[in-house]
Structure 1
Amino acid sequence: MKDTSGAQVLGRTSWKRLGLVMVPTVIAAGALSLAMANGAIAASFAVSGQQFKLTAGSLTGTGFVQYGTVDHHADGSQFPAAVSAFASADITNLCQSVVTTIPVIGDVTLTIKAGGGKTAVHADNLIIDMSQLNAGEADFTNINIGQDASTLSGSATGAKGTPGLFGQQADKATLTGVQQVAYSTNAGSFQLHDMSLSMSMGNNPCF
């Protein structure tokens, strides 16, 4: 970006009401075959067949990177995922839910809430593999868009993609009004404050 005099300007970028934050559909489509050929499996474990939903009042993280990858189920089948990773992140008003259908009983919803008090949820080396991310507003500081995914740095340990594929990174990212559908979450440490866990009958996700 340049100012009116033609000088380069570095700083914060703000985009509102994002869908999957800055990840183009080319990651999940055209790049998929190449990622599979190179064995780019993000999660270090077999991912279940269920996705879980998460909402947060805000997510503020340093060392943000994002790229596309391929995850796998226990049966070996593979599927595309978008990865968002942070070196460190703080999350307020966290709600995480997963709905399971149990024979005879029906749908049961497991819900975890945390970070609703004065102390936010804190995570280090946070990596999230997801299919959808919505935010009311997303602010990025010193962002590179279109960087080779294999050269991403400064984020969670091992958070980089396949050479030649689309990636992006920023020194800092702040998302508010977060709604996320995810396959998996990895973290070196995950500290939940004011945590509560509950189970309820029926389909009652966080959003």
Structure 2
Amino acid sequence: MRWRRFAVLSVPGFAATAALAVALANGALAASFAVSGQQFKVAADDLKGDGFAQYGSVDANARGDLLPVAVTAIKKAELRNLCQSVVTKLPVIGNISLKLSAGTGSKPVQATDLYMDATDIAGDASFNNIEIGRDASTVDKGPDGAQGMQDAFAQQADDIHIAKLRTVAWATTAGSFKLNGLSMKISKGKKECF
């Protein structure tokens, strides 16, 4: 009887683990880590990047929930007046905001192999030599390995410029991230970038 109960309880867990492994092997999972249960906001007055690719994918949280994202991958990026914020609701205390800013002076934020797993991106964008509708498994202008699933939609360009960038994301990763003029503040209440 115990073996039967064990099987009933463990089979769904094994199935979810197998599904995640297959998704990861096929390039369907974006972030290489379990994302938190909170999205965060990123804003910048200006983003300039060399080597851009964008394709659909999914992130997974620690519970195994799959979260659809648009992966924006940039080989080399500069961001001016970067702001990143997340609001956490805590029992008894209420909302707590963590807000980070950098690149506000003459030195911009610099990143290499930048990946943003976003659910919402807004701003005024321009591209050079853009290809729209390319198979996601064949994009080659972004960082090495920045490819999605075969037969899935993607776009890529030699370079990208976004003014007034506003993004809501599950994850951001980078090979290197230089935050010139970094400032981080935690405060009570809701104090977001936008």
Shorter-chain-normalised TM-score: which range?
0.7 to 0.9
Deviations 1:65-112 (Å, cap 9, x if unpaired)? 000001101111112111100000000000100000111111000000
Q: For residue 38 of structure 2, what is the aligned residue in structure 1?
A: 50
Q: For the pair shown, which has the larger CA radius of gyration, 1 or 2? A: 2
Q: Are the counterparts in 2 of residues 62 and 171 from structure 1 also a CA contact under 8 Å?
A: yes
Q: Determine the structure 2 residue equivalent to 1:172.
A: 159
Unaligned runs of 5+ residues in structure 1 are 1-34
Corresponding position: 1:159 with 2:149:
no
The whole-number CA distance in structure 1 between the counterparts of 2:155 and 2:185 is: 37
Of residues 61, 79, 94, the one that matches 1:73 is 61
Any conservation in 1 of the 2:55–2:148 contact (CA below 8 Å)?
Answer: yes
Runs of 4+ residues deviating >2 angstroms: 35-39
Matched, 1:193 2:180: yes
**What is the deviation of 1:38?**
4.3
Partners of 2:59 and 2:33 in 1: CA distance: 9
Greater helix content: 2
TM-score by length of structure 2 reads 0.86
Structure 2 runs not aligned, ≥5 long: 1-22
- The answer (yes or no) to whether the contact 2:128–2:159 under 8 Å persists in 1 is yes
* In 1, Cα distance between equivalents of 2:27 and 2:44: 32
Counterpart of 1:161, as a letter, is G
Q: SS in structure 1 opposite 2:137? A: helix
For structure 1, which segment, 106-115 or 73-82, has the greater mean C-alpha deviation from structure 2 after superposition?
Answer: 73-82
The alpha carbon displacement at 1:154 in A equals 2.6
Q: Take 1:96 and 1:36, find their aligned partners in 2: how far apart are those partners?
A: 28
| Length-normalised TM-score, structure 1 | 0.80
Correspondences of 1:63-102 after superposition (within 5 Å)? 63-102=51-90
Q: Percent identity?
A: 49
Aligned length: 172
Q: Distance in 1 between matches of 2:24 and 2:160?
A: 29
Does the 8 Å CA contact 1:36/1:70 hold for their aligned counterparts? no
Distance 2:53 2:153 in 1: 11
Task: Output the CA distance in 1 between the equivalents of 2:119 and 2:169.
Answer: 6
**Are the counterparts in 1 of residues 35 and 60 from structure 2 also a CA contact under 8 Å?**
yes
